[in-house]
Amino acid sequence: MTGFVRRVVTGHDKNGKAVVISDGIAPSERANPFVPGMRSSDIWKTTAMPVPLTRVEPDPTTGPRDFVPPMGTKIRIGEIPPDTEAMLNLTPEQAREMFKHSGSNLTSTFERGGRHPMMHRTESIDYAVVLEGEITLVLDEVDMQLKAGDVVIQRGTNHAWSNRSGKLVRMLYILIDGRFEPELAALFKADRRS
């Protein structure tokens, strides 16, 4: 599989002058066998706040797929193909495996009779930008139609991205580590028990 996002990374030379340290296709493209045509590329990630700025650093996106590191951030571009009958008929077990393959195995919230097999919740704030196409944001009881240029501020809520347009959708995600307040976290635990 060839990459699909050009990434330019800047840094500093030995005299502190701004330079380009890499220019090429982002190396961490991933596909998911449960959703043919879905692919994403982690463009960069950080693992601390404030972010240490060094002269040169190794590429933080290589290695096993993960979600957002504690106290970290991640920028990802993804392509979501149109929903298929096979994807819409995933079992809860298959949905969990799909998220595990994507590096976030604890996020799936889909259960039998649920709204969408891609339903998940992450302990993060995510800025999601529709770059190309149209997509539906599926929440617990509401669907929102989104088009190119729309931005969603995803605040740890249960959601899925459903492509009902018949065409490929390209999204940009900026993921930032977060923590649920205890009162909110207790509601999620109670919800899983019922």
pLDDT at residue 194, rounded to an integer: 43
Contact by Cβ (8 Å): 153, 127: yes
- Sign of the torsion angle spanned by Cα atoms 115, 107, 72, 162: negative
Average pLDDT (90-101) is: 86
Spatial distance between the Cα atoms of 171 and 73, rounded to a whole number of angstroms? 17
Candidate from 23-27, 82-86, 101-105, 153-157 with smallest mean pLDDT: 101-105
Residue 62, pLDDT score: 87
Render the burial of 33-43: b for 16+ CB within 10 Å, e for the rest. ebbeebbbbbb
pLDDT of residue 33: 83
Residue 193 has pLDDT above 60, yes or no: no
pLDDT of 190 over the 80 cut: no
Strand ranges for the chain from DSSP E: 6-12, 18-25, 29-31, 39-46, 73-80, 124-132, 134-138, 143-147, 151-155, 160-162, 169-177
For residue 3, what pLDDT is reported?
Answer: 66
Calculate what percentage of the chain has a pLDDT beyond 90.
64
What confidence category does residue 30 fall into, taking pLDDT thresholds of 50, 70 and 90? confident
Strand, coil or helix: what is 87?
helix
What are the residue boundaries of the structural domains of the chain, listed by start? 29-193
Q: Which of 24, 29, 21 is nearest to 7 (CA)?
A: 24
CATH code at 29-193: 2.60.120.10
What tens digit of pLDDT does each residue of 104-155 get? 766 889 987 789 999 999 999 999 999 999 999 999 999 999 999 999 999 9
Peptide bond between residue 50 and the one before it cis (omega within 30 degrees of 0): yes
Average of per-residue pLDDT across 87-112: 83
Can you give the pLDDT at residue 105? 65
The confidence band for 35, taking pLDDT boundaries of 50, 70 and 90, is confident
* Residue 58 confidence (pLDDT) above 90: no
The SS3 of residue 12 is: strand
